[in-house]
Structure 1
Amino acid sequence: MDQKSVLFTQLADMGLSGNETVLIHSSYKSMGPIEGGPEAVLDYLMEYFADGLLVLPTHTWAYIHAKNPEFHVASSPTNVGILTELFRQREGVYRSYHPTHSVAAFGKDAATFVEGAEQFDTPCARGSAWGKLLDREAKILLVGVDLRRNTFIHGIEEWVDIPGRITDTQEELYVVRPDGTRISVPSRRHTPTSWSEHFWKVDEVLQETGAMWLGKLGEAEVRICDTVRLTEVLTEMLEAYPDLFSDNEPLREDQRHFFREEGNKEDTVKK
């Protein structure tokens, strides 16, 4: 098979038909040699998901802040990889107006999907693109990266209202639209502690509960997350253990067996 056919087969093997809404976090280098480079990868992804919605993060949180407050939708580069930077510049791709946690989308309802990000003052508000992923029952592909790069989990923590994750005060940030108009978007930020570096600890639980499974894309290992099941599992765990991601230690035994215990309780009730 040629390279495109191999990648398309791998996507199909992940359970993806091409009609879905899919968000992709990626390490391009992890895919191994790709003839045509990152542009070819984007060509293949945009073709495969032509009847769905393809979304990539185009974050700028690393350099948009109080001392450098202007996010230019049309020109501010991403800080999350080469595929995201090239994707945002492509014809037919729409970028959201969030100053630090924007996304870019291509395909079905792309323009509508990215609308409204500037209305919220948090990184992953339920009404933003991050919440819309859940509404659309999207899949998240972690290509050559692990759960520590899954921004959607920040969203779940935000929606459950885990304390200490977002600053109490706002920064005065601004969005410069493609037409040059400038709007104020006061924004709260993730607190300095790198909570996402602790997300790895639920890897096994997510696989065991069917919220995540593994695949391949090129030479890269891919974690495929179902946003609905992922939200169900982590919401239950965070409500029971608000400190779940507060340290970088493996899960405690009670946390590891949480869903088995819950299942046993349900079986006992049914009997």
Structure 2
Amino acid sequence: QNDIFRSIHPTHSISAKGKYAKKITETHHIGNKTYGENSPWAKIIELNGKFLGIGINLAWTTQYHYIEDIMNDKFPIKVKIDKIYKIKCKIDENKYVDVNVQPLDSDVAKTRIEKNPFIHNYLWDIFRKLNVLNLGKIGKANSWWVNAKEFCDILKKLAELGITIYSTKKELKKKKLYPFEKIKDQFVL
């Protein structure tokens, strides 16, 4: 279809449709960050877009990695392996471009949000208390949506405090970052 655009990326290609579809997808392959400033996630934030989850919880979305890429070395833990792979991607019939990919570290991912009900529930609680998580139904599916910039600003603030999608309850209790009442003064409620 002529009105659907797809980003050029070997591991996290995104399709978009609508008024800003081309803008959201056209620079994904530029630079060395899958989720960085040229990514569709960054463009959605710039355009004051929304993230929508239909029939999924907060664990199964990828915008968390945007914070890791934007913060780079300031992110509280190292989440990627050191090696950067150059992957050839076809951009049209006879033209290819090298896209840099730096994979996530599988050891770090062992406590990531989709395997860690504690951090999922804690983040859910934080976003609910900060009134950024909007709940509803689409058909029969439980759904949620957030303003992309607001959501990512909070994720960045949490990361600056030391709270990430990889955090464990033991770790956050030790750092006095759990429960939410211990950090709520860091946010305007």
Query: Quick one: structure 1 residues 172 and 258, their matched pair in 2 at CA, closer, same or farther if it must change by over 3 Å?
Result: same
Question: What is the distance in 1 between the residues matched to 2:94 and 2:182?
Answer: 51
Aligned residues: 175
Tell me the alpha carbon deviations over residues 77-120 of structure 1, each in whole angstroms, 9 at most, x when there is no partner: xxxxxxxxxxxxx4421100121111111110322221111112
Q: Per-residue deviation at 1:229?
A: 1.5
Q: 1:200 aligns with which of 113, 120, 123?
A: 120
Question: What is the distance in 1 between the residues matched to 2:167 and 2:184?
Answer: 23
Question: What is the distance in 1 between the residues matched to 2:87 and 2:186?
Answer: 44
Query: Quick one: structure 1 residues 258 and 154, their matched pair in 2 at CA, closer, same or farther if it must change by over 3 Å?
Result: farther
1:245 pairs with 2:168: no
Q: 2:134 aligns with which of 192, 213, 219?
A: 213
Query: Quick one: structure 1 residues 186 and 158, their matched pair in 2 at CA, closer, same or farther if it must change by over 3 Å?
Result: closer
State the partner residue of 2:97: 183
When Rg is computed on C-alpha atoms for both structures, the one with the higher figure is 1
Asked if the contact 1:166/1:191 (under 8 Å) is kept, the reply is yes
1:127 pairs with 2:47: no
Q: 1:262 aligns with which of 172, 183, 186?
A: 186
Where do 4+ consecutive residues of structure 1 move more than 6 Å? none
* Structure 2 unpaired stretches of 5+: none
Asked if the contact 1:168/1:188 (under 8 Å) is kept, the reply is yes
Q: Per-residue deviation at 1:232?
A: 2.0
Query: RMSD across aligned C-alpha pairs, in angstroms?
Result: 2.4
Give 1:1-271 correspondences, 5 Å limit: 90-161=1-72, 162=75, 163-192=77-106, 193-194=108-109, 195-197=112-114, 198=116, 200-201=120-121, 202-241=123-162, 244-249=164-169, 252=173, 254-255=177-178, 256-262=180-186
* Structure 1 unpaired stretches of 5+: 1-89
Could you tell me the TM-score, scaled by structure 1's length? 0.58
Question: What is the distance in 1 between the residues matched to 2:144 and 2:58?
Answer: 8
Asked if the contact 1:123/1:189 (under 8 Å) is kept, the reply is no
Question: What is the distance in 2 between the residues matched to 1:118 and 1:183?
Answer: 8
Other structure's SS at 2:37 match: coil
Could you tell me the TM-score, scaled by structure 2's length? 0.81
Query: Quick one: structure 1 residues 129 and 227, their matched pair in 2 at CA, closer, same or farther if it must change by over 3 Å?
Result: same
Other structure's SS at 1:101 match: coil
Question: What is the distance in 2 between the residues matched to 1:212 and 1:96?
Answer: 28
Asked if the contact 2:113/2:166 (under 8 Å) is kept, the reply is no
Tell me the alpha carbon deviations over residues 133-154 of structure 1, each in whole angstroms, 9 at most, x when there is no partner: 1111111111111111121111
Q: Per-residue deviation at 1:254?
A: 3.2
Other structure's SS at 2:185 match: helix
Other structure's SS at 2:24 match: helix
Q: Which amino acid aligns with 2:79?
A: R
Query: Quick one: structure 1 residues 136 and 208, their matched pair in 2 at CA, closer, same or farther if it must change by over 3 Å?
Result: same
